[in-house]
Amino acid sequence: MTDRKSPPERVYEAPPTDRPISEAEAARAAGLAHNEHIKIASGYLRGTLADGLLKHATGAISEDDGQLVKFHGMYLQDDRDLRPERTKKKLDKAYSFMIRLRIAGGVVTPKQWLILDDIATTYANGTLRATTRQTFQYHGVIKSNLKRAMAGIDAALLDTIAACGDVNRNVMAATNPAQAGAHKAAYQLAKDISDTLLPKTSAWREIWLDGERVIGGEEAAEVEPVYGKTYLPRKFKTVVAVPPSNEVDIFAHDLGFIAILDKKGKVTGWNVTVGGGMGMTHGETDTFPRTADVMLFCEPADAVKVAEAVMTVQRDWGNRKSRKNARLKYTIERYGLAAFRAEVEKRVGKRLADPKPFKFEGNGDRYGWVEGEDGRHHLTLYVPSGRIKDVEGGPRFLSGLRRIAEVHEGDFRLTGNQNVIIANVPAAKRAEIEALVDDYGLTKGAGALRRNSMACVALPTCGLALAESERYLPDLITELEESLARHGLAEDEITIRMTGCPNGCARPYIAEIGLVGRGPERYHLYLGAAFDGSRLGKLYAEDVTAAEIRGTLDPLFAAYAQGRKPGERFGDYLIRAGYVARTINGPDFHEQTGALKSAA
């Protein structure tokens, strides 16, 4: 046996010492990315949005405003199913907007639910969509209805500020209702971080609610004390997890807080993770998904300060010349975790402890009824791809949850897996809620593969989608369920996720079966991720057609059924049995790809 050479010691770049450039001339001279110029010239996210809304000749807005409107929680989209016919008739695209809400921790009251339902049926496409970011988004809102929809959202005491854009986006938090005390701490931390790191510009209220413009307007130096004129280099995602459940996928995000619990289940502090992220670009190996590093431990009193420090280091160190390499994961790859931690501690003002031990068991939801430590009852419903609508001949999610909201005395919680929890039900009300769930055919669970599945929206509304996802995954799962049943694996928990493009909104790279769109009915297949979301998968097969997916996976299911060890997960087995290489992290994602041996 030959000794393997240890890898050469990593050499990191020296971190920058200056604050980001915020003047137009200097930004041009430095060759900053186009979005940096848009932000500098925007007057703290105003741009020409107010004027663009008055232009009725088109349902669109200008290209630069299309970037700015993301900071307000919106994306301009069009119905791609209608493109060919409208192009033939020389008509404008069927433009509309996707609106995403900011709901820290995914908690809404019954009253808020009813208002959001009304907006969906009045101004959107009649559906509410629970996202993988633990919030709601609307699709199909036309330009002339934007301000009406935003007024409705404001009436619910909610907003869409910073739900998208180069800012700290919607902060996710653990939902486990059985851990009432820990959930409360996680939710409060998520809310505190969300409020603290919220952009301070009044542009949202001015533009969408006809709010009064601040005297001095965008020139007021105090408008963005943390972000400055150029905000962050790219999006920044924060989550809070409570072991043993990792349903927020903590390793997939820029910043995370893992609750460290004492023997009584009380939060004693937080492990802090940094540098996770899912997005990449097909064919460009300098882009890659990355799982977060567990960097340090902090006391509860320091958590918000740590969050702000991590974000401001990324503000100052992040790459503003190339947006494809601008996320925090690339910043840490460039400058090293040690230097990053030292700078965070410097900004917090003290040395922080090393991480404490913790353990995750999975990243799925618990379905059905659970009784919490406080005697309250919680019902988790399975909502396919988070699409809350009435299905002809099937579950009537929209009308059923509306009816429940009319009588519910607790709250609702969205999960990071796109499901809905009817939470904090008093024992005396449980039978009434249960009867309504049954009356409307709502689903309290599904088969093992289906309940561990996620899909992004993809076609027809997402402009980035290369292939189907939400509309196709249910049929694919039906096929795969047949294979699994044939091999005696029908009740085995396996995570499967699909996205229409490599941006990875449904976090496919940390699913045991990950499918990423390459083109119409073609996908890259990734295998070998960890069931608890702590390890990335590896590219197993390129450009697999939709018709080939079942045939590719079936022999692997057969081998797993025959060769697994007791309790061994599918992703772990594929690595141990030599079918696919283990991904260590980051750049290693693109190394040693492909099937290592035939499964036939």
Can you say which residues are annotated as belonging to the binding site?
A: 456, 462, 501, 505
Cis-peptide, bond into residue 460, ω within 30° of zero: yes
Show Cβ contacts of residue 171 under 8 Å, excluding neighbours closer than 6 positions.
Answer: 104, 105, 190, 191, 193, 194, 238, 239, 240
Q: Which residues are annotated as a binding site for siroheme?
A: 505
Each as own residue / partner, the long-range contacts of residues 432-438 (CB below 8 Å, 24 or more positions apart, any chain) are 432/407, 433/379, 433/404, 433/407, 433/408, 434/379, 436/400, 436/403, 436/404, 436/407, 437/379, 437/381, 437/400, 437/404
Residue 501 annotated among the catalytic residues of the structure: yes
Catalytic residue among 100, 129, 133, 451: 100
Catalytic residue among 133, 389, 402, 462: 462
Chain centroid to Cα 333, Å, comes to: 22
Show Cβ contacts of residue 387 under 8 Å, excluding neighbours closer than 6 positions.
Answer: 127, 129, 130, 397, 470
- Give the alpha-carbon dihedral of 500, 505, 510, 516, to 10 degrees: 10
112: region left, alpha or beta (phi > 0 left; psi from -120 to 50 alpha): alpha
Residue 203 CA neighbour count, 13 Å, CB half: 29
Catalytic residue among 46, 102, 133, 169: 169
Q: Which residues are annotated as a binding site for [4Fe-4S] cluster?
A: 456, 462, 501, 505
Rounded distance between C-alpha atoms, residue 169 and residue 6, angstroms: 39
Residue 535 annotated among the catalytic residues of the structure: no
Residue 462 annotated among the catalytic residues of the structure: yes
Residue 237 annotated among the catalytic residues of the structure: yes
> Coil, helix or strand for 332?
helix
CA angle 407, 373, 419 (to 5 degrees): 55
Residue closest to 308 by CA, chosen among 334, 356, 343: 343
Contact 301, 360 (CB under 8 A): no
Which of 436-455 are b and which e, b meaning 16 or more Cβ less than 10 Å from the residue's Cβ? bbeebebbeebbbbbbbbbb
Q: How far is CA 579 from CA 243, 299, 511, 557, 559, in A?
A: 30, 43, 16, 12, 10
Chain centroid to Cα 382, Å, comes to: 18
Residue 235 annotated among the catalytic residues of the structure: yes
Residue closest to 436 by CA, chosen among 403, 397, 393, 392: 403
Catalytic residue among 39, 129, 133, 237: 237
H-helix or E-strand spanning residue 269: strand 267-274
* Cβ count near 41 (within 10 Å): 14
Place of tokens 């005396």: 428
Residue 456 annotated among the catalytic residues of the structure: yes
Residue closest to 448 by CA, chosen among 367, 514, 561, 505: 367
Catalytic residue among 234, 450, 501, 535: 501
Contact 516, 526 (CB under 8 A): yes
* 521 residue type, one letter: E
Catalytic residue among 46, 93, 320, 456: 456
Task: Go through the chain and tell me how many residues it has.
Answer: 600
Give catalytic residues, as residue numbers: 100, 169, 235, 237, 456, 462, 501, 505
